[in-house]
Amino acid sequence: MTEPRTPAPSALTDLIHHPYAPTAPFSAPQPGVFKASSIFFPNVQAMRSWDWKDKSAFTYGLHGTPTAYILEERIAALEGGKHCLLVTSGLAAISVVGLAMLRAGDHVLLPDNVYGPSKGFAESELARYGVSVGYYQPLNVEHCASQIQPNTRLVWLEAAGSVSMEFPDLRALVQLCRDKGIPTAIDNTWGAGLAFNVFDLDGDGSHRLGVDISAHALTKYPSGGGDVLMGSITSRDPAIHRRLQATHMHMGFGVGVNDVETILRSLPSMSLRYYAHDTAARQLASFMAQQTAVVQVLHPALEGSPGHAYWKAQCGGKNGPHGLEGAAAGLFSVVIDPRYTQQQIDLFCESLRWFKLAYSWGGPISLVVPYKIGSMRSLPEESLKPGTVVRFSIGLEDAADLQADLAQALQKAFG
Ligand SMILES: *Cc1c(COP(=O)(O)O)cnc(C)c1O
């Protein structure tokens, strides 16, 4: 059906089939927000032949809209990939990868410091479908090699790891999996496409060595507001993309276009924000390293932090645009001396004025979370000193105010 050229007989119908269309072209900084479940076809022949899979046409809102495609292409470019799929959260990106790449009888291997809910998905959901789950010590390539089974079909990576922030030897781990023909997927939320290129670990544009799939919680830096949940799955290999795309479609994880719009608006400032978070986080991590209550600071760019040498090899070397060596996310953890009680640690967290008690990171407001790391690990934690782990996500406030806030809370809780 073509649009009616003349007003409908009834004003009510006219409200729905109004003939007015704005004059094209319209050009402005922000792409249009195209929301749709239904998408019109000009004729039945088009309805039968149009294909959404290669983005040559639109067929149904769940399969993509111009607005969603624009964000997919930009995230693929940001991460150095070729294909990208948007999903409803970072966790959905992780679950779609597992569902697409694994079947009953397969084995999946995760680093022991992987994002916690990723373990939950593997142990509760993948296990019910007959997939077995194993863990490896993130800083120990030999341990990873020893955990690979004949039926291992997917190895996850995360750099830096969640909460304990160990930075693994990505090149050695990916090479190990390559040699054994096992696909690799990385949770790329921390690096966000800015600290290093997951598809080109040599960093020379050769793409000789890289992961097969990147899952990214756009909830964090691409959103930057602490207000939107979204995830992406990026890849370079067309066959892997097709598999991910089929599962993505079958699961029905299409995203809301208003949320896509929000991320498209934040994306141009992402690198500026990332380097600002990084600068402040390194300053505050160094400040915390000088405190007597703190026995260890976990920040991969800091000398002595677990995996620092691998961070340096992957993300360091030359100075970033902020004048610091390399790049790192604005996150770090500290281990508080075990001589202090849980009540004192809770008091420290609650005494902070600018840091709010909340999960997630990447937004303008600084956040703090006390963790019980023992209950989160499946293997002995090899990198951490005994004590209680507190994680900080550094926002965009003035770093001097944040430092003064940390100082007063330390004084109040630990004397
Ligand atoms: C937040 C986060 C996720 C999950 O993202 P959601 O959008 O909150 O589901 C996954 N991985 C890492 C490393 C994260 O920090």
Atom of ligand 1 nearest to the CA of 89: 7
In the reported structure, the alpha carbon of residue 358 is separated from the centroid of ligand 1 by a whole-number distance in angstroms of 13
Digit-coded pLDDT (tens) for 85-110: 999 999 999 999 999 999 999 999 99
Q: CB of 231 closer than 6 A to ligand 1?
A: yes
Q: Which two tokens stand for residue 265?
A: 């608006």
Mean pLDDT of 258-273: 97
- pTM, whole model, 2 decimals? 0.96
Digit-coded pLDDT (tens) for 267-278: 999 999 999 999
In the reported structure, the alpha carbon of residue 319 is separated from the centroid of ligand 1 by a whole-number distance in angstroms of 28
Closest residue by Cα to residue 99 from 253, 285, 207, 244:
244
Asked whether the predicted pLDDT for residue 298 surpasses 90, the reply is: yes
Instruction: Tell which phi-psi region holds residue 252, choosing left (phi > 0), alpha (psi between -120 and 50) or beta.
Output: left
Average pLDDT of the chain to the nearest whole number: 96
Q: Report which protein residue has its CA nearest ligand 1's atom 3.
A: 90
H helix or E strand, kind and range, residue 297: strand 294-298
Pairing of strands 132-136, 107-111: parallel
Q: CB of 187 closer than 6 A to ligand 1?
A: yes
Digit-coded pLDDT (tens) for 188-207: 999 999 999 999 999 999 99
For residue 178, give the 3-state DSSP assignment: helix
Q: CB of 219 closer than 6 A to ligand 1?
A: yes
In the reported structure, the alpha carbon of residue 378 is separated from the centroid of ligand 1 by a whole-number distance in angstroms of 20
Q: Report which protein residue has its CA nearest ligand 1's atom 11.
A: 115
For residue 356, give the 3-state DSSP assignment: strand
In this prediction, residue 5 has a pLDDT band, given cuts at 50, 70 and 90, of: low
Spatial contact of 326 and 316, defined as CB atoms under 8 Å apart: yes
Q: What is the pLDDT of residue 242?
A: 98
Digit-coded pLDDT (tens) for 225-241: 999 999 999 999 999 99
In this prediction, residue 23 has a pLDDT band, given cuts at 50, 70 and 90, of: confident
Digit-coded pLDDT (tens) for 132-172: 999 999 999 999 999 999 999 999 999 999 999 999 999 99
Q: Report which protein residue has its CA nearest ligand 1's atom 5.
A: 90
Q: Report which protein residue has its CA nearest ligand 1's atom 10.
A: 90
Asked whether the predicted pLDDT for residue 78 surpasses 70, the reply is: yes
Q: What is the pLDDT of residue 1?
A: 44
H helix or E strand, kind and range, residue 215: strand 213-217
Atom of ligand 1 nearest to the CA of 190: 13
Digit-coded pLDDT (tens) for 323-350: 999 999 999 999 999 999 999 999 999 9
Q: Which two tokens stand for residue 376?
A: 């989160």
User: How far is 327 from 334, CA to CA, in rounded Å?
Assistant: 20
